Amino acid sequence: MSNSYSLANCAKKRVSYFYDHDVGNFNYGPGHYMKPKRMHMVHNMVVNYGLYKKLDIVKPTRCSAFQMTRFHSDEYVNFLQTVTPDNLETLALQHGGLEQGIARFNVGEDCPVFEGLFEFCSISAGGSIGAANKLLNGEADIAINWSGGLHHAKKTEASGFCYVNDIVLGILELLRYHQRVLYVDIDVHHGDGVEEAFYTTDRVMTCSFHKFGEFFPGTGDIKDTGLGKGKRYAVNVPLRDGIDDETYKSVFQPVIQHIMDWYRPGAVVLQCGGDSLSGDRLGCFNLSMRGHASCVEFIKSFNIPMMMVGGGGYTIRNVARTWTFETGLAVGEDLTEQELPYNNYFEYYGPEFKLDVPSNNMTNHNTRDYLDRIIARIIDNLRTLPFAPSVQAQEVPKDFNPDDYIEGEDSEAEEADIRRTQRQKLESMGVL
């Protein structure tokens, strides 16, 4: 497919890579799907492949509580800052009773209170804010924060293993300079927290490719396109089980091409959730490592300042493989041409010991007719928008206020994602 918005794609990219060794030491608790250790695994391979020589490696400045309140409510941030496993019940009682208090901020089974929770959030969010600033200052063409991508977190509550929405905070930084920012999400789960944050503005277009139906978080219908000024600036691509590389590419590329040609963003944020990979513990897609990475390559080809963040991914050996490979792509290296180097987690990659995540033989339930109808509807929505790319962008005020725009263990056996939405939990408790 022709890439009408790109320039010559031969220039070497300057890539900043944000990493804090402490982030991989946190633990959500025994048996929890989310394993921050995967960040150690990625970094270990980045070092042993020699990629560090081509990266500007940055230890992020940790995000302060005040910075978090650019998006999150003061009350919620204060809760995150003060809560510990030991005082959780006491704090919850101060917010309407034990069950209601815990439900208010949606902490519990999916989003447990673990030791060092606020510090973990500070590192994740600090990386995305720092990545945005590297792009804004012209110090990088691509900025990577694999500890970010926590796209489910809401303004006043945790959700889906996510507590602080580093993506929203990073985009708010980008909006200080860029008139328009594009957010693209290839996690198997809908990027609901980011979409909700920017649902009423045309300053950010969100585009999420995800499993839709009886699947967490239960949002992301193709009919959900935004409200008010943001009408039709939310793009949802609802997909079915078993989508493979070629089928995914046949949807991803035309949708992104039309968005790029029409919306002309000044920067793009790509959430690279690894749970869309084949064999993920909570996923139901059938993407290979190369199929997943082809999305990175396609976005990179537009030569727009790009932030890459992590996200989901619960078969951690495959997440580490893929994010390492995609770090290589960012600096122009195809790592599959090299042997898997010995590293601290080498035994995780057996028995094949290769940098590869193959597709399997699962059934693809995405018919050509279904996908063509999705593409046609999305393109039709874009064509009906009044905005024209040739309109001169207005300067973004330095005192830009987000409130002006925002309303409203190591077992890797596959299991169905049975997480419930916050509304479902409250309904079961009789709160709603």
DSSP letter (8 states) at residue 300: H
SS3 60: coil
187 is in an annotated binding site: yes
DSSP letter (8 states) at residue 142: E
**Strand pairing class (56-58; 142-145):** unpaired
Q: How many angstroms separate the Cα of 385 from the Cα of each of 137, 258, 261?
A: 31, 13, 13
Q: φ, ψ for residue 389 (rounded to 5)?
A: -60, -25
Q: How far apart are CA 301 and CA 238, in angstroms?
A: 25
Helices (H), 69-191: 74-82, 88-93, 98-104, 117-136, 166-174
Q: Is 62 left (phi over 0), alpha (psi -120 to 50) or beta?
A: beta
310 is in an annotated binding site: no
Annotated catalytic residue 152: yes
**Which of 307, 329, 312 shows the shortest CA–CA distance to 274?**
312
SS3 44: helix
189 is in an annotated binding site: yes
**What is the H or E stretch that residue 15 is in?**
strand 15-18
Q: Which of 40, 152, 210, 292 is flagged as catalytic?
A: 152
190 is in an annotated binding site: no
| b/e per residue 304-339 (b: at least 16 CB within 10 A) | bbbbbbbbbbbbbbbbbbbbbbbbbbbbebebeeee
**Which of 53, 120, 107, 115 shows the shortest CA–CA distance to 79?**
107
DSSP letter (8 states) at residue 349: G
Q: How far apart are CA 44 and CA 24, in angstroms?
A: 11
Q: Is 269 left (phi over 0), alpha (psi -120 to 50) or beta?
A: beta
Total residues found in the chain within this entry: 432
Sheet holding 56-58, edge to edge: 56-58, 15-18, 142-145, 306-309, 267-271, 181-185, 204-211, 234-239
**Which of 221, 354, 349, 212 shows the shortest CA–CA distance to 284?**
212
**Which of 4, 37, 25 shows the shortest CA–CA distance to 313?**
37
Q: How far apart are CA 394 and CA 169, in angstroms?
A: 22
User: Which segments are annotated as binding site for substrate?
Assistant: 110, 160, 314
Catalytic residues: 152
User: Which segments are annotated as binding site for a divalent metal cation?
Assistant: 187, 189, 275
User: Which segments are annotated as binding site?
Assistant: 110, 160, 187, 189, 275, 314
